[in-house]
Amino acid sequence: METITLKKIAEQLGLSISTVSKALKDYPDVSAKTKEKVRNLVTELNYVPNSSAVSLRSQRTNTIGVIIPETVHHFFSYVIKGILEEADKKKYNVILMQSNEDYEIEKKQVELLLNKGVDGILISLSNTTVCLDHLEKIRVQGIPLVLFDKIAKNINCSKVKVDDRKAAYEAVSYLIDHGYRRIAHFRGGLIPQNSVDRFLGYKKALIDHDIEFDSSLVYMCDSNSDFTDGFNNAEKMIQDHGDNVDAIFTVNDLLAIGAIDYFNANGIKIPERIALIGFSNWFVSSVLTPSLSSIEQHGFEMGSKSAQIVLHEIDCKNKGIPIEPQQIIIETNLIIRNSC
Amino acid sequence: METITLKKIAEQLGLSISTVSKALKDYPDVSAKTKEKVRNLVTELNYVPNSSAVSLRSQRTNTIGVIIPETVHHFFSYVIKGILEEADKKKYNVILMQSNEDYEIEKKQVELLLNKGVDGILISLSNTTVCLDHLEKIRVQGIPLVLFDKIAKNINCSKVKVDDRKAAYEAVSYLIDHGYRRIAHFRGGLIPQNSVDRFLGYKKALIDHDIEFDSSLVYMCDSNSDFTDGFNNAEKMIQDHGDNVDAIFTVNDLLAIGAIDYFNANGIKIPERIALIGFSNWFVSSVLTPSLSSIEQHGFEMGSKSAQIVLHEIDCKNKGIPIEPQQIIIETNLIIRNSC
DNA sequence: TTTTTCAATGTAATGGTTTCCATTATTTTT
DNA sequence: AAAAATAATGGAAACCATTACATTGAAAAA
């Protein structure tokens, strides 16, 4: 199984390599007859340019690198799908990596992508990423970089995210507008920023509606663990507050699922006794009993938009046009189901 | 931001390119002093070999290509995770593509991967793949190929799958052993083979337990649609058979979810009146009400095992050892929950 | 007829690394 | 002192495609 190269084509036609190359690129240099001959043989032998050689020459790989914290995640599945479709349209390949929410791994993966010579990089930061030197390195090398969903403020690059604060604000406002007053919050940690913003949105909604913010209603959860953390905190909450709590806004759907589990198991009626709204709108939310209200983040759009931006920046770079980082907000939707 | 090449290192040290290259590869040719000098400058300047140049020279890309039918899928998320981890261990990159269950796209993606020069390919076939010429092409080029989960029989390459027939047999046998007799089956289409095998396992379990196979209890479903198809078929089944049916084995969890939805909505008690067992053990199955019994397919292991095999075959190829295709069966587990 | 023009093709350098094959300088053996 | 062996380094080809530049031959203008 010998590979076909320009050299072989040239030999068979008694031409030089450069003439063959030019013929294929439709240079005005080459005569119509010669082009015809070359094209015929090329299709006959099924010639395909060697990708490594083209990359070496052009200093481009037609590949973008993507780092996400975790592949097994409803939201990120959609993000990946969006990225793949957009990349496919523009004839780019996607190298996928996961950081497993580990800063050291993320750093290593960035290094690998840079060594590989990808044309652009998309990252959703890990929860443990504090230092941004590895991102600066990407910038310094002039490689287009787009952060999505889990972003960092202190780096000058394009960013695609949802407005977590606003989304949380809307969800909590909805609860308030429907008569709930003692609204608890199952919050995530101080990293990523998303958790913090959701908490801030929650708090602001209360204050704007003249409801006193009660910090004893805020439960710090491990948002990476399984749903038992939601179960446990629901139990704790009932112990702490008994009847003096009527709704929960959770930082993600997983915690809400755990809480629902606890309430169902203990005969606490949803939404009569306790209402819930989650965040992310996992598929599971729609089929739970009761079905869970949640906030749709539009992962597919986030992925495709992020890819679109990075590919656009690659394009700019190739054309020598300076890149202006942009910040895109993907609109969220509050999806009301039976849990409130 | 100038890139560091061997040439630059050589110039700075007053050596030839070849000496520098050899020094870095620890050839016995080069003196200890020179090696020392080279290594120092290399670390100082942070030299990294140009990946395209290495690929061009070595005819290897250190990249494997993966084609799956759909990224948004609990099972495939785990498969991807398994592949990524295994590839990462062996310092291989993963180019991910999805076929969207479309044969034409799958064919195109294979073509792209071959053009890109990946060292190996992993595919889970689309439901619409009938012709296998594109896979033969991979074989002809001598590129290691591993099919997983959705495989084809008529191609000589390594395969990693679950024993669908056995898994279905065990699930249905479990139902029979627990007193269920009129067991319906919500089956998938004639492609992929998995659906057929699950149906055959269902049928064999009935026959082996002296229960008459009743084809009116088998409902052909569109396994790619959303769960409403499960809902609709559950309704149809009750209309058809009324009380004369006491369990369902579904070809996937999605259909079971739809069926549960129908039964819950119509006051049909699970598992007292109707028992259910699904297939794939999606996360959602564990949090449904009632929770759904299902068959765990171990996607992570399937992914990591598939990657392991393809990387091993790449290794064999590089060493000139002939490749012997292997067939691996990943063991399934029947997970019993409250639906039966 | 001589010079200019241009159409068509070829040569060679480039991109960066690897490796076979010299070449030079030094040391050992006869 | 001459020949052989060894150590250290350099040159150049190969991987393959691209493109600036050079060459050839023929037609058009002087």
pLDDT value of residue A133: 96
Q: Determine the Cα–Cα distance for residues B88 and A112; give it in Å rounded to an integer.
A: 10
- Please list the residues that pair with B333 across neighbouring strands: B296
Least confident of A19-28, A221-230, B259-268, B282-291: A221-230
For residue A74, which residues of chain B lie inside 8 Å, CB to CB?
72
**Stated length of chain B:** 340
- Please list the residues that pair with B174 across neighbouring strands: none
Inter-chain touch A287–B288, beta carbons under 8 Å:
yes
Q: Per-residue pLDDT tens for A80-97?
A: 999 999 999 999 999 999
Band the pLDDT of A223: cuts 50, 70, 90.
low
For chain B, the average pLDDT equals 95
| Out of A52, A78, A94, closest to residue B95 by CB | A94
Q: Which of A195, A180, A337, A294 is nearest to A245 (CA)?
A: A180
pLDDT of residue B311 exceeding 80, the answer is yes
B61-162+299-331 CATH pick, 3.30.70.120, 3.30.300.30, 3.40.50.2300, 3.30.470.20: 3.40.50.2300
Average pLDDT value for residue range A308-331: 96
A289 min Cα distance to partner chain B (Å): 6
Q: Residue A261: is it exposed, middle or buried by C-beta count within 10 angstroms (0-12/13-18/19+)?
A: buried
Using the structure block, give the residue that is written with the tokens 């970089």: A145
Q: Determine the Cα–Cα distance for residues A108 and A278; give it in Å rounded to an integer.
A: 33
What DSSP character marks residue B215? G
Q: Determine the Cα–Cα distance for residues A129 and B169; give it in Å rounded to an integer.
A: 47
Q: Which of A283, A291, A317, A338 has the most B C-beta neighbours within 10 Å, making it the best mutation to test the interface with B?
A: A283
Q: Per-residue pLDDT tens for A261-280?
A: 999 999 999 999 999 999 99
Protein-contacted positions of strand C (CB under 7 Å): 7-12, 14-20
CA count, 13 A, side-chain hemisphere, A278: 30
Q: Look up the protein residue whose alpha carbon has the minimum distance to the C1' of D6.
A: B29
Inter-chain touch A63–B95, beta carbons under 8 Å:
yes
pLDDT value of residue B29: 85
Q: Determine the Cα–Cα distance for residues A154 and A161; give it in Å rounded to an integer.
A: 15
- With CA of B56 and C1' of each nucleotide, the nearest comes out as D15
B positions 78-107 inside 8 Å of A (CB): 78, 80-81, 84, 88, 93-98
Sheet with A247-250: strands ordered across:
A218-220, A183-187, A247-250, A275-277
Distance A21 CA to C8 C1' (A): 14
Q: Which residues have a Cβ under 8 Å from the Cβ of B82 and sit 6 or more positions away?
A: B299, B300, B301, B302, B303, B304, B305, B306, B307
Q: How many C-beta atoms surround the C-beta of residue B132 within 10 A?
A: 15
Q: Residue B317: is it exposed, middle or buried by C-beta count within 10 angstroms (0-12/13-18/19+)?
A: middle
Q: Does domain B6-49 have CATH number 1.10.260.40?
A: yes
Q: Residue B140: is it exposed, middle or buried by C-beta count within 10 angstroms (0-12/13-18/19+)?
A: exposed
Core vs surface per residue B98-128: b (16+ CB within 10 A) or e: bbbbbbebbbebbebbbebbbbbbbbbbbbb
pLDDT value of residue A217: 97
What CATH number was assigned to the domain covering residues A164-296? Answer: 3.40.50.2300
pLDDT value of residue B225: 67
For residue B71, which residues of chain A lie inside 8 Å, CB to CB?
77-78, 80-81, 84
pLDDT value of residue A61: 97
Average pLDDT value for residue range B198-215: 97
DSSP A106-122: HHHHHHHHHHHT-SEEE
Instruction: Let me know: does B219 contact B186? Beta carbons within 8 Å.
Output: yes
For A331, phi and psi rounded to 5 degrees? -70, 140
| Out of B50, B88, B116, closest to residue A51 by CB | B116
Q: Which of A96, A104, A107 has the most B C-beta neighbours within 10 Å, making it the best mutation to test the interface with B?
A: A96
pLDDT value of residue A225: 67
Query: Is residue A46 less than 8 Å (CB to CB) from chain B?
Result: no
Q: Where in chain A is the domain with CATH 1.10.260.40?
A: 6-49
Band the pLDDT of B222: cuts 50, 70, 90.
confident
Q: Per-residue pLDDT tens for A148-195?
A: 999 999 999 999 999 999 999 999 999 999 999 999 999 998 888 899
Measured between its terminal Cα atoms, the distance across chain A in Å is: 65
**What is the number of CB-based contacts under 8 A between chain A and chain B?**
107
A61-162+299-332 CATH pick, 3.40.50.2300, 3.30.1330.30, 3.90.226.10, 3.10.180.10: 3.40.50.2300
pLDDT value of residue A227: 82
pLDDT value of residue B226: 73
pLDDT value of residue A222: 78
Using the structure block, give the residue that is written with the tokens 């973008």: A64
Using the structure block, give the residue that is written with the tokens 């209309």: B239
pLDDT of residue A112 exceeding 90, the answer is yes
pLDDT value of residue A23: 95
Q: Per-residue pLDDT tens for B127-184?
A: 998 899 999 999 999 999 999 999 999 999 999 999 999 999 999 999 999 999 999 9
Inter-chain touch A117–B88, beta carbons under 8 Å:
no
Measured between its terminal Cα atoms, the distance across chain B in Å is: 65
Inter-chain touch A94–B96, beta carbons under 8 Å:
yes
What's the sign of the alpha-carbon dihedral B262, B265, B269, B271?
Answer: positive
Band the pLDDT of B191: cuts 50, 70, 90.
confident
pLDDT value of residue A226: 73
**Stated length of chain A:** 340
pLDDT value of residue B223: 64
Distance A317 CA to C5 C1' (A): 39
Q: Look up the protein residue whose alpha carbon has the minimum distance to the C1' of D10.
A: B16
Distance A32 CA to D29 C1' (A): 26
Inter-chain touch A1–B141, beta carbons under 8 Å:
yes
Q: Per-residue pLDDT tens for B239-298?
A: 999 999 999 999 999 999 999 999 999 999 999 999 999 999 998 898 888 999 999 999
